Amino acid sequence: MSEPTAPASGFHPGLPSKPAKFLALGLKRILSGTDPRLLVPLCSFTGMAVWLLPPSILLPLCPLVLLPALAALILLPGGRAVLGVYAGFALFWSLSSFLLQFWEQGLLSPALRAALIFGVRLCCLSGPATALGLAVSPLTLGRVLVWYMQRLGVLEAAFCALPPCRGILAPKLAGAAWRCGLTLAVMAVFLPRSLRVLAGLRRSLRLRAPGLAFSRRCFLLGLSALRLLSVQTWELSLSIASRDLYRPQPWAWRKTAPLGPDMEGHGR
């Protein structure tokens, strides 16, 4: 049986249009050209501003803040699954906020307004988070964390002149910094992989067994996810071991040399 072809107009349902993909690639190029040590605090401050700004200022800025999330939806392999889970998370907590506000105040309009503002803030937080996923690899993200933790040790040596305070923070950070960077990198790799695995399993069950009972579907989904995620864990462990990331030296920030491939084989 021949594969279906796209219509003559060039439009294919489910695929982004050429202008949208062009804008997403341009945004990714801008973010990738920024020093990750500057991009991480910039995204952090953007997230804090989203949470603290009044609604009259936040609402006009929402399209600008959500641009990285829309670019991730187009460009990243698991972007749709990640943003779908995050949208469900925002919807759940917005509904919970509405119910709690309505239970406490007994007024529909203030509770609905507060829940909507809370949901908008949660959705806008996906923009700074996905900007990091577009711009840097998980390995680079871990190295940025290590770099900042080492700077804390330098600040302690510069400002803690009293003998009782000197030498308390720096030795602990020196031993724990690369472990924190490895933990962050593993989490940044494993969570999108897990969401892609679960999305693929749900799609397979929907296509191959559409009439399967709900209890049987949940059992097969949990069993298959456990097996596939155990394989993913093994592959990730081999990837870490093959790149010798169980030592502090690979986590040092490199000023001139390229950072090399990350745990999924990508550069930067």
Q: Is residue 1 part of a domain?
A: no
- pLDDT value for 31: 82
Give the number of domains in the chain.
2
Residues 6 or more apart in contact with residue 150 via CB below 8 angstroms: 173, 174, 177
Q: Are 245 and 259 in contact (CB under 8 A)?
A: no
- pLDDT value for 95: 93
Together in a domain, 123 and 193: no
Together in a domain, 163 and 223: yes
Residue whose entry in the numeric block shows the structure tokens 């949901």: 119
Residue whose entry in the numeric block shows the structure tokens 């509770």: 111
Measured between alpha carbons, how far is 189 from 266 in angstroms, rounded to an integer? Answer: 12
Q: Is residue 2 part of a domain?
A: no
The gap between the terminal CA atoms of the chain, to the nearest Å, is: 42
Q: Is 20 exposed, middle or buried (0-12, 13-18, 19+ CB in 10 A)?
A: middle
- pLDDT value for 257: 39
Q: Could you tell me the residue range of the domain that residue 169 belongs to?
A: 137-268
Measured between alpha carbons, how far is 203 from 112 in angstroms, rounded to an integer? Answer: 34
Tokens of 268: 């930067």
Opening angle at CA 197, ends 29 and 183, nearest 5: 65
Dihedral angle of Cα 231, 233, 235, 240, to the nearest 10 degrees: -170
User: Which residues of the chain fall short of a pLDDT of 70?
Assistant: 1-17, 78, 153-174, 254-268
Together in a domain, 63 and 24: yes
Q: Is residue 200 part of a domain?
A: yes
Together in a domain, 219 and 158: yes
- pTM, two decimals, is 0.71
- pLDDT value for 154: 62
- pLDDT value for 96: 92
Other beta carbons within 10 Å of 245? 20
